[in-house]
Amino acid sequence: MDAHDLTQTAQTALPAATSPTASPATSPAADRKLGLALLIIATAQLMLVLDDTIVNVALPTIQRSLQLPTAHLNWVASFYSLAFGGLLLAGGRAGDLYGRLRMFRIGLVVFAVASMAGGLAPDATALIAARLVQGCGAALAAPGALSLLATTFPSGPARTRALGVYGAMAGLGSVVGLLLGGTLTTYLNWRWVLFINVPLAIVVLAGSRTLVTGDRKHGSIDIPGAVTATLGIGSIIYGLTSGSTNGWGAPVTLACFAAGVALAATFVALERTSRAPLVPMAVVRDRSRAGAYTVMLLVGAGMLAMFYLLTLYMQTVRGYSALHTGLAYLPFVVGLGIAAGGLGPRLLAKLPPRGVLAAGLLIFAGGLVWYGTHLTPTSDYFVAILPGLVAGGAGGGVTFVAATAVSVQGVAPSDSGAAAGLLNTGIQVGAALGLSGLASIASIVTRSRLPGHTLPGHTLLPGHTLLPGHTLLPGHTVAAALTDGYSTGLFAGAALFAVGAVVALAAINARIEAGQVSGH
């Protein structure tokens, strides 16, 4: 396929024949059915993504309740992301082969059962195991949600609006998770951050009959590819976690990185020779889609780490409660909703997607730079945090809409599950890697301010406790050292978004016709 063919492919929307509803819906009944289908898909995506963050604000309570060792505290969050991101490619391919609606429903059932088990967990081991199974269920359901959107909504403005809502859920879910987690932990019990998934899953399952499943593709799942991809991602994530606790030169850290690189290389080799690859070459060969997937990986890395570090700053340095922390993120939700619901589609109707993506990423990066230059141990919320949240929400909303639209454009119906799996994989793998990497950067900077000097009763990051008996460096308090670490981690997140903007400008050459988006 030459460059001209790539451009033509990128400019071609999903074929109208992907579903029986591919003709424009004009009757009120058809409009209501599409509206319900969008509500179901958006709720499913929201539920799956919010579990990345809903437990974050409840971690201190979980630790006290289950006597979870501090060094293992972040496993409650990272094991979900690991299973989710590591198995998404297999989940997407399973939907293509065995029926997207069927795998979507199976994933929801697994997710709900694991959520109930996690809420009832008698100890830390049971909770972490439940979170791992939750991630497996999410890996089956999430790619199904996006591919079912493509087969349910007709090509044109209806699908673009639906993609905008779906894309917004990727960012909104993380913030809703923080807000809902704080509320449930404060007024009910930490176990309800997991129980809440059960009624949501039941509602989505009941409404899934409105979705159009599309055609199946014959073949089998690439089991060796799924295993090497999951183990490779897991090895790198564990290496990042180990580096911040055991040291970057520790044998276990180096072994994890070496294993991760070797497994990643093995995965690529397997995909090139497999008869049923998890990542069809036709999907990733298009430079625009490959660019969109890369952008989403970088966005996932920077965004979840941003929530994590800001949450630690608000609770550890500023003393916010779990509920107060969740409420503090509301401006991000407002900015994201406005950008994804109206601004993003309008910009896509008038400008090339790469320009829209780059602009969104740079605005988002500007928000993180604002935090980095304004956070102090005594900063006022309205001065140091609010402007960054508004900028991040607006930039994130535009970015999610544009990247989602580009990532599924021109994909053959038989490969839509794999395309959806790649998009979600980018977000989840980026989230897991970014959380480990940027948290490690923050920890290193903080410890450089307190070299061997710690005070009782303060926590730097999960796994790093300040110990008694030493003085601080001149001019540094514990709060100042923590803030310096968080600020540096946020600067690193801004750098990731800036790199994403460069990738968007250099790699994405797709265009979306004005008739395919709603300018209203």
Give the model confidence (pLDDT) of 256-288 as tens digits.
Answer: 889 989 998 898 888 777 776 767 676 677 788
- Mean pLDDT, rounded, of the chain: 76
Q: For residue 197, give the nearest of 379, 15, 8, 51 by alpha carbon.
A: 51
Q: Percent of the chain, pLDDT > 90? A: 16
Lowest mean pLDDT among 71-85, 259-273, 349-363, 444-458: 444-458
Per-residue model confidence (pLDDT) at position 493? 93
Per-residue model confidence (pLDDT) at position 104? 85
Average pLDDT for 163-192? 78
Average pLDDT for 15-41? 57
Q: Per-residue DSSP letters for 482-508?
A: HHHHHHHHHHHHHHHHHHHHHHHHHH-
Is the whole-model pTM more than 0.85? no
Q: For residue 450, give the nearest of 491, 413, 478 by alpha carbon.
A: 478
Give the model confidence (pLDDT) of 391-442 as tens digits.
Answer: 998 998 888 888 877 876 776 666 666 666 677 777 777 877 887 788 888 8
Is the Cβ–Cβ distance between 360 and 378 less than 8 Å? no
From CA 50, how far away is CA 322, in angstroms rounded? 16
Per-residue model confidence (pLDDT) at position 457? 38
Is the pLDDT reported for residue 511 higher than 70?
A: no
Lowest mean pLDDT among 100-104, 264-268, 270-274, 509-513: 509-513
From CA 230, how far away is CA 226, in angstroms rounded? 6
What is the total residue count of the chain?
A: 520
Three-state DSSP state, 284? helix
Q: What is the 3-state secondary structure (H, E, C) of 365-392?
A: HHHHHHHHHHCCCCCCHHHHCHHHHHHH
From CA 118, how far away is CA 98, in angstroms rounded? 28
Contacts of residue 157, Cβ cutoff 8 Å, sequence gap at least 6:
515, 516, 517, 518
Q: Per-residue DSSP letters for 318-363?
A: S---HHHHHHHTHHHHHHHHHIIIIIHHHHHHHS-HHHHHHHHHHH
Lowest mean pLDDT among 85-99, 292-306, 320-334, 355-369: 85-99
Contacts of residue 21, Cβ cutoff 8 Å, sequence gap at least 6:
30, 34, 152, 153, 154, 212
Band the pLDDT of 241: cuts 50, 70, 90. Answer: low
From CA 456, how far away is CA 184, in angstroms rounded? 29
From CA 295, how far away is CA 301, in angstroms rounded? 10
Lowest mean pLDDT among 140-154, 189-203, 499-513: 140-154
Question: Around 263, how many Cα atoms within 13 Å sit in the side-chain half-sphere?
Answer: 20
Question: What topology does CATH give the domain 29-221+276-516?
Answer: Growth Hormone; Chain: A; (1.20.1250)
Which DSSP symbol is given to 518? -
Q: Where are the domains of the chain?
A: 29-221+276-516, 222-275
Q: Percent of the chain, pLDDT > 70? A: 75
From CA 196, how far away is CA 209, in angstroms rounded? 22
Per-residue model confidence (pLDDT) at position 432? 75
Lowest mean pLDDT among 8-12, 156-160, 443-447, 488-492: 8-12
Average pLDDT for 220-238? 77
Please give the torsion angle defined by the CA atoms of residues 398, 402, 403 and 408, in that order, rounded to the nearest 10 degrees. Answer: 150
- Name beta bridge partners: 465: 459
Which has more confidence, 392 or 461? 392
Per-residue model confidence (pLDDT) at position 221? 67
From CA 176, how far away is CA 199, in angstroms rounded? 16
Per-residue model confidence (pLDDT) at position 465? 39
Highest mean pLDDT among 51-55, 313-317, 494-498: 494-498
Residue 377 burial (CB count, 10 A):
15
Highest mean pLDDT among 6-20, 107-121, 150-164, 437-451: 107-121
Going 186 to 131 to 290 to 408, the CA torsion angle's sign is: negative
Contacts of residue 75, Cβ cutoff 8 Å, sequence gap at least 6:
128, 131
Q: Which residue has the tokens 């704080």?
A: 182
Q: For residue 471, give the nearest of 447, 455, 448 by alpha carbon.
A: 455
Per-residue model confidence (pLDDT) at position 195? 93
Per-residue model confidence (pLDDT) at position 162? 74
Average pLDDT for 56-60? 76
From CA 253, how far away is CA 241, in angstroms rounded? 8
The single-letter code of the amino acid at 343 is L
Which has more confidence, 313 or 6? 313
Instruction: From residue 94, give the alpha-carbon distance in Å to each of 41, 44, 231, 285.
Output: 18, 18, 19, 21
From CA 85, how far away is CA 91, in angstroms rounded? 10
Per-residue model confidence (pLDDT) at position 519? 42
Which DSSP symbol is given to 105? H
Average pLDDT for 33-51? 78
What are 456's two structure tokens?
A: 């009782």
- The CA-based angle 92-95-100, given to 5 degrees, is 125
What are 136's two structure tokens?
A: 């497996």
Estimate to the nearest angstrom the gap between the alpha carbon of 499 and the chain centroid: 18
Band the pLDDT of 501: cuts 50, 70, 90. Answer: very high
From CA 184, how far away is CA 187, in angstroms rounded? 5
From CA 9, how far away is CA 405, in angstroms rounded? 14
Contacts of residue 293, Cβ cutoff 8 Å, sequence gap at least 6:
284, 407, 422, 423, 425, 426
Give the model confidence (pLDDT) of 357-396 as tens digits.
Answer: 999 999 999 999 999 999 999 889 999 999 999 999 899 8
